[in-house]
Structure 1
Amino acid sequence: MNLVRTFIAVDIDDNNVLSKLAEVRDYLVGTKADLKPVATENIHVTLRFIGEIPMTKVQEICDALTNTLKFKPFTIKIEGLGVFPNIRRPRVIWAGVSRGTEELVKLHDIIEKTLRSLGIPPVREKFVPHITLARVKSSKNLQSLIKAIEQFMNTEFGELVVDKVKVKRSILTRSGPIYNDICVIKAVE
């Protein structure tokens, strides 16, 4: 059986926002902390990670979401830097969404309901809209990393219009994941 590592996301396709996010990510990498940075072309807001599922199920998801995911274009503002789980032991470094979070949560809820109707179990953790910039692999140079994160905590990265949601495939390679769009659900004008 052909399994596909699948997730649903909003791409950050505004070049100004993307370059600001990449600039901060590169600055964090410059601290020489043990980071696994997200490649610029892979920067996105994950609405739902699904995992490895058969391609036939992926097609079912695309068909179902085309019917259930009806939304008007809306603006999100990318602002602030944060970490999961906390600043003393950062594992994930992310940029926050300060405007448009309600709309993203609504999309997530519709996706969740749709997936459940297709037999995909719900996620346990609360959905927090964010953009992962890097993962922290060890505590090497942690203090300089924390200082750098604190420096960018209130950074404004800009705004962009969300007018499509993508079901994506993630192919894991040694040099990092490669993402391909499987289907695109466009906003209704």
Structure 2
Amino acid sequence: MRVFIAIDFTNEIKEQLVEIQRYLKNGSKKGSFTHKENFHVTLKFIGDVTPEQLQSIKNTVGIVAQQNDPFELAFSNIGSFPRGNKSIQWIGLEHSSALHHVQSQLEDELEKYGFAKENRPYKPHITFGREVVMETSIQSLQLPTIIDKIYVDSLVVMESTRVNGKLTYSPIHYSSLT
């Protein structure tokens, strides 16, 4: 089973993300764009795990969730990670001490179970598309403004699978923040 820990969104937030993604699609030549139901913020990518490891991950997520209060996130800028002549398109989040604290706690707690800490700085974002080739620059697009904040009240363990060739992220465990 291939898993990661994330923050999931309400349908309303996902609809707003779809609206922005539509503009990016229109300004691109091609790309593999994220399906609406797959929008999320990754806290920790783990990868393939055994059933025993999965139980440790669920327990850890529960412990971290119990030690943190709900918090809000706000969208920031649109950006991209270059990959040759293609890129990964994303929207970032404004700095959140609460988000970074939760993410750091997860890293520390999971390391106790043998999961390696990420060696790159944490850069929270929501991926709009992979292998995107833009026709025009992102800066020249007239993107809609997002106003809503994201209310985070739970952490989720997600499974990543392919269903009929489509990448699918399915929640398999939620833990509520207290």
With normalisation by structure 1, the TM-score equals 0.83
The residue type equivalent to 1:126 in the other structure is P
Aligned to 1:12: 9
Aligned to 1:177: 167
Contact between 1:21 and 1:157, CA under 8 Å: does it hold in 2? no
Report how many aligned residue pairs link the two structures: 177
Query: How far apart are 1:157 and its partner, in Å?
Result: 4.7
Aligned to 1:50: 46
> Which aligned segments of 4 or more residues in structure 1 are displaced greater than 6 angstroms?
none
Question: Partners in 2 of 1:11 and 1:152 — Cα distance?
Answer: 27
Query: How far apart are 1:150 and its partner, in Å?
Result: 4.3
More divergent stretch after superposition (103-112 vs 165-174): 165-174
Of residues 13, 20, 23, the one that matches 2:19 is: 23
The SS at the match of 1:156 is coil
Question: Partners in 2 of 1:19 and 1:57 — Cα distance?
Answer: 34
Structure 2 residue runs of 5 or longer lacking an equivalent are: none
Aligned to 2:156: 166
Write out per-residue CA displacement over residues 124-171 of structure 1, whole angstroms, 9 at most, x where no aligned residue.
11101111111125x4xx342x2x454357943521210000011111
Question: Partners in 1 of 2:34 and 2:44 — Cα distance?
Answer: 17
Question: Partners in 1 of 2:123 and 2:27 — Cα distance?
Answer: 27
The SS at the match of 1:169 is strand
Write out per-residue CA displacement over residues 16-60 of structure 1, whole angstroms, 9 at most, x where no aligned residue.
x32221011122222342211110011000001111111220111
Q: Percent identity at matched positions? A: 24
Contact between 1:80 and 1:155, CA under 8 Å: does it hold in 2? no
Question: Partners in 2 of 1:51 and 1:97 — Cα distance?
Answer: 24
The SS at the match of 1:82 is strand
Contact between 1:81 and 1:155, CA under 8 Å: does it hold in 2? no
Contact between 2:23 and 2:141, CA under 8 Å: does it hold in 1? no
The SS at the match of 1:126 is coil
Contact between 1:94 and 1:130, CA under 8 Å: does it hold in 2? yes
Contact between 2:34 and 2:127, CA under 8 Å: does it hold in 1? yes
The residue type equivalent to 2:32 in the other structure is K
Structure 1 residue runs of 5 or longer lacking an equivalent are: none
